[in-house]
Structure 1
Amino acid sequence: MILVTGVTGTVGGEVMRRLPRGVGVRVMARDPGRVAGVPAGVEVVAGDYGDVVSLGRALAGVRRAFLVTTRVGGGDDAAFLAAARRAGVGHVVKLSAAAVLDRGAGDVITCWQRVVEEQVRGCGLEWTLLRPRAFMSNCLSWAASVRGERTVRALYGTSPHACVDPRDVAEVAVRVLTQEGHAGRAYTLTGPQAVTAVGQSAVLGRLLGAEVRFVELSTAQARAVWAERYPQPVVQALLDSAGRQRAGAKARVEDTVREVTGRPARSFAQWAADHLEAFTPPAGPVAAGGPVPPGEPA
């Protein structure tokens, strides 16, 4: 039995849908009613990292688990790993982030991720770490302004980042969960080339058949927008992350997706073409609109 967490988020749901038929799959969510697109034969259970009893039920009979957590500093990983040991789980695959390798990254999110990685490595179970760069799907935060104004607003528009398609991250996770030979490994996952927000805007314009203009946000503007959505430590972490990206810390490309799956990583153009409906304006004139959140330089 394979347990998948984070199924209402960006990667976990893709993992759930890509696991092969015939493999016992269980997914855990705080609210099972929010889990969409569940394949036939997949078991959905209620579970909360803060509820030891629910974790025990979710992990009963599980051989391998895909672990996703988002509560910075909340202790969710330690609680899950302890429950996994008690349940006799053999292998935990943890979704982390490539920033843990950047010595210049000292923000609260990256420091938390490093602590979690240490917990995973010392948990007494077999483990694998997946360290993706920013997800291409972060660009969906531009969708409203592209539909309404054919405009992208973002911070540091010419800074390169080797963002990755979440589907590629999920496909790597599926290989690790269903094949041998990945224990004790840490995989950094990127797209096939570094891109910029300006370049991504141009790609969207070509696919839409209309110019998509890019507007550079100031640091103060980005801070104000993020402050409407996140607490101050997270806002500062996002700004620090964007600064490292501007300095080139996120431009390195890895071929890990090909090495694990046997095929190259998808390009941003491929991702955008597959999600073009989100950016396509409705019939009629393009309307003016207000500022929108920039893409998050995770």
Structure 2
Amino acid sequence: MATVLVIGAAGKTGRAVTAAPTSRGVDVRAAVRSAPRAEIAYAVGARSISVVDLESGAGLDEAVTGVDAVYHLAPNVHPDEVGMADRVARAAARAGLSRFVFHSVLHPDDASMPHHLRKAEAEKVVRAHLPGATVLRPAAYHQNLVGAALAGRLAVPYSLDSPFTNVDLADVAEVAATVLTRPGHEGVTYDLAGPEVLSVRDQAVVAADVLGHPVEAVRVELSGWVAGPGASLTPQARDDLLAMFASYDRGGLVGDASTLRRLLGRDPHSWAETLRLESDSMRQSSNTVL
């Protein structure tokens, strides 16, 4: 039975990427930054845990020992993304691993967003050590707005009319499981965009129809965002996200869904389909608890 290492397994994306291979009978070793986060990874199917410090590299050699593939997912907008990619890729190369997947972002070469450029540089670093690495470049997730839609208010600090081709995280995780476990994806880069172009205003209209209750779209003033959600961030992370909002104002984030459709062998989930699936899942979980 194959074993894959998922780095960053306790986060939102990491949990999805951990769950997808386990559903195919693959053993997942979850790399987490601290022992208390192990339970999060176990809950979505991880069979074993490695505690890894991506900033120093401590624990990486032990984590990659005995696995067949690695999925590397760095913390969001981390300033040392390139250094982390270098340390992880070097450890995988030392272990003789040929199957390595790097989680990047749609349009990493967009110079208006510093954290995208760090992804682009990290891609180059990974490929320098592991030429056969696979790179996944997902668009923004539908799931980023599902909770807000259920609450009836999509509030964002950028234009309500900018276009996006958001993607279902479950679809991204399904592709991740495929490239981690099946041959034919070596050295390839895949853009993973959703099947429809929608603005936040459009998403609110669709959500109201699907969920059966009003959903408003609201633009948050940047000053309010800085004083609210942005206040808990480091200055670097806050500046990165402000640059991203400005980029979204100018042109949103749009990609081509044809690659994702081909990799899935079906149409990717639309915003409406994701809302239905997520709301049904939450309702079932609530019923189970009751």
Alignment equivalent of 1:195, drawn from 184, 194, 198: 198
- Please give the alpha-carbon distance, in whole angstroms, between the structure 1 residues aligned to 2:211 and 2:277: 12
What amino acid sits opposite 2:54 in the alignment? Y
Question: Where in structure 2 are the equivalents of 1:91-110 lying within 5 Å?
Answer: 91-102=99-110, 105-110=111-116
Distance 2:248 2:64 in 1: 38
Kindly report which structure 2 residues correspond to 1:146-161, keeping only aligned pairs within 5 A, or say none.
Answer: 147=151, 150-154=152-156, 155-161=158-164
Give 2:164's aligned amino acid: H
Which 5+ residue runs of structure 1 have no aligned equivalent? Answer: 281-298
* CA deviation after TM superposition for structure 1 residue 259, in Å: 1.2
* Distance in 2 between residues matched to 1:55 and 1:206, nearest whole Å: 47
CA-CA distance at 1:56 after TM superposition: 1.5
Q: Which has the higher contact order (CA 8 A, sep 6+)?
A: 1
* Cα offset, 1:249, TM superposition: 5.0
- Per the TM alignment, residue 116 of structure 1 is displaced from its structure 2 partner at its CA by 0.6
Judging changes above 3 Å, is the alpha-carbon distance between structure 1 residues 24 and 151 closer, same or farther for their aligned structure 2 residues?
A: closer
Separation (CA, whole Å) in 2 of partners of 1:53 and 1:112? 22
C-alpha distance in 2 between matches for 1:207 and 1:22: 34
Distance 1:177 1:7 in 2: 15
2:123 maps to 1:117? yes
Q: Which amino acid aligns with 1:37?
A: A
Alpha-carbon distance in 2 for matches of 1:3, 1:232: 32
Change (3 A) 1:173 1:279: closer
- Distance in 2 separating the partners of 1:58 and 1:260: 29
On the 8 A contact 1:81/1:120 being kept in 2, the answer is: yes
1:100 aligned counterpart, secondary structure:
coil
TM-score, length basis structure 1: 0.83
Match of 1:39 in 2: 45
The 8 Å contact of residues 189 and 256 in structure 1, kept in 2 or not, is answered as: yes
Count of paired positions: 273
TM-superposition CA deviations, 1:206-236 (whole Å, max 9, x none): 2232222222223333333342232233223
Tell me which of 56, 72, 75 is aligned to 2:79.
72
CA distance in 2, matches of 1:4, 1:45: 10
Is 1:18 aligned to residue 25 of structure 2? no
d(CA) in 2 for partners of 1:38 and 1:46? 17
Asked whether the equivalents of residues 192 and 255 of structure 2 are also in contact (C-alpha less than 8 Å), the reply is: no
Structure 1 residue 138 corresponds to structure 2 residue 161? no
RMSD in angstroms over aligned alpha carbons? Answer: 2.4
Tell me which of 4, 16, 32 is aligned to 1:2: 4
Instruction: Tell me the distance in 2 between the aligned counterparts of 1:272 and 1:55.
Output: 37
SS in 2 for 1:210: coil
Q: Contact 2:52–2:59 at 8 Å: present in 1 too?
A: yes
Quick check: 2:138–2:192 contact (8 Å CA) kept in 1?
A: yes
Q: In 2, are the aligned partners of 1:81 and 1:123 still within 8 Å (CA)?
A: yes
- Letter paired with 1:111: L
Whichever structure has more helix as a proportion of its residues is 2
Give how far 1:195 is off: 1.2
Please say if residues 113 and 247 of structure 2, whose CA atoms lie closer than 8 Å, have aligned partners that are also in contact: no
Task: Please name the residue that 1:270 is paired with.
Answer: 273
1:186 aligns with 2:189: yes
Tell me the amino acid that sits aligned with residue 61 of structure 1: G
Distance 1:141 1:230 in 2: 21
Q: Structure 1 residues 25 and 210 mapped into 2: Cα distance closer, same or farther (>3 Å)?
A: closer
Q: Is the counterpart of residue 233 in structure 1 residue 236 in structure 2?
A: yes
Q: What is the deviation of 1:170?
A: 0.7
Gaps of 5+ in 2: 284-290
Q: Which amino acid aligns with 1:85?
A: A
Is 1:60 the counterpart of 2:62? The answer is: no
Q: Report deviation, 1:43.
A: 2.3
Structure 2 CA distance for aligned equivalents of residues 124 and 208 of structure 1: 45
1:290: which partner in 2?
none
Shift in alpha-carbon separation, 1:196–1:268, aligned structure 2, 3 A: same
Displacement after TM superposition at 1:261 (Å) = 1.9
Determine the C-alpha separation between the residues in 2 that align with 1:221 and 1:126: 45
Q: Which residue of 2 aligns with 1:255?
A: 258
> What CA deviation, in whole Å up to 9, does each residue of 1:34-92 have, x standing for no partner?
3242438x222322224545211111122211100123225221111111112121121
1:278 positional shift: 9.4
Q: How far apart are the structure 2 equivalents of 1:142 and 1:279? A: 14
Q: How far 1:8 moved relative to its partner?
A: 1.2
SS in 2 for 1:180: coil
| Deviation (angstroms), 1:135 | 1.1
